[in-house]
Amino acid sequence: MKKIGVLTSGGDSPGMNAAVRAVVRAGIYNGLEVVGIKRGYAGLINGEIQNMDLSSVADIIHRGGTILRSARCLEMKEDEGFKKALNVIDIFGIEGIVVIGGDGSMRGAEKLSKAGIATMGLPGTIDNDLAYTDYTIGFKTAVNTVLGAISNIRDTSASHDRVSIIEVMGRHCGDIALYSGIAGGAESIIVPEVEFSVEEICKRLIQSKNRGKRHSIIMLAEGIGNAYDITKEIQEKSGLEARLTTLGHLQRGGSPVAYDRILASRMGERAVKLLMEGKKSRAIGITGTDIRDHDISEALSMKKEINMELYELAKVLSI
């Protein structure tokens, strides 16, 4: 193996830069030539490729976003676009690719590996929705960002005796809501993986109010459905003033926390090592404290489940 490429794809996440840096530095350390592919699969198809030297990744470990930029690219899913991508890989003499992205990006990586390109997948998404890894790069930073928002919202909701409903990202995965809800002391946490009852939530809100509590925080994962309708229903059924805050893209930004930087660094280095060992199709994750690699197709077939122990803990502590 002489030349490898790295790309970031799909929704960006804090720590992607640390992963790019690790791939470039570990590659060069091991005598490889490393190229950066701009704007994910779109840049691959269009041949937007640049050489990466040691200084190209200087001063980025602490930065959110991705210096390689990211994109969603429908063409990659179609035969014609995919063929173009394979041609570009051939023309540029790229022998191995490291894809940093979420579930969709991993499916693109799987397709590349099935076409015979040595491909490594790194889980770069704030959603923590990939079953084969305990944590994805960017998740812990996003939880901390949400915590900051909870703290600010708590100040104002306490001043107005309000119920604050905070909608967070995660697509079909409730982990951001669950983890930030526990850490932020939320009264209720609504996630797509567990059935919930608005009546039960309202009962708890009324009971807390009767005990003298002046405000409540409810965390809501975006995968649950229409947050505005749920807020309205809670307001109508509880008779309490409820306000919805949708945090949106602010959850994706910011400087990555130490955990994400270290996770990205370890995973990036592992990807290079596996490519040098001649491995073809691996998804890199973390289990406990160990960096582990799995066959990409097997990794993608695993079903992500919510941590019920944490979910129950949240219920006990918000009594």
Interface positions with ligand ADP (CB under 6 A): 9-11, 41, 72-73, 76-77, 101-105, 107-108, 111, 125
Buried b (16+ CB within 10 A) or exposed e, 280-314: bbbbbbbeeeebbbbbbeebbeeebebeeeebeeb
- The residue written with tokens 């490889």 in the block is 32
Is 36 annotated to bind a ligand? Reply is no
| Residue 175: active-site member | no
Least distance from ligand ADP to the Cβ atom of residue 248, Å: 16
Q: Which two tokens stand for residue 144?
A: 């901390």
C-alpha span between 251 and 254 (Å, rounded)? 8
Is the CB of 40 or the CB of 184 nearer to ligand ADP?
Answer: 40
CB-closest chain residue to ligand ADP: 104
Is 222 annotated to bind a ligand? Reply is yes
Least distance from ligand ADP to the Cβ atom of residue 260, Å: 16
Is 185 annotated to bind a ligand? Reply is yes
Is the CB of 105 or the CB of 144 nearer to ligand ADP?
Answer: 105
Least distance from ligand ADP to the Cβ atom of residue 243, Å: 30
Is 211 annotated to bind a ligand? Reply is yes
Q: Hey, is 317 helix, strand or coil?
A: helix
Is 293 annotated to bind a ligand? Reply is no
Q: Which of 168, 124, 139 minimizes the C-alpha distance to 259?
A: 139
Catalytic residue of the set 12, 53, 59, 127:
127
Least distance from ligand ADP to the Cβ atom of residue 303, Å: 16
C-alpha span between 260 and 139 (Å, rounded)? 8
Using CA atoms, how far residue 232 sits from 12, 115, 163, in Å, is 32, 50, 12
Q: Where are the beta strands (DSSP E) in 47-200?
A: 49-52, 96-101, 118-123, 163-168, 188-190
Binding-site sequence positions for ATP = 11, 72-73, 102-105
Binding-site sequence positions for Mg(2+) = 103
Binding-site sequence positions = 11, 21-25, 72-73, 102-105, 125-127, 154, 162, 169-171, 185-187, 211, 213-215, 222, 243, 249-252
Catalytic residues: 127
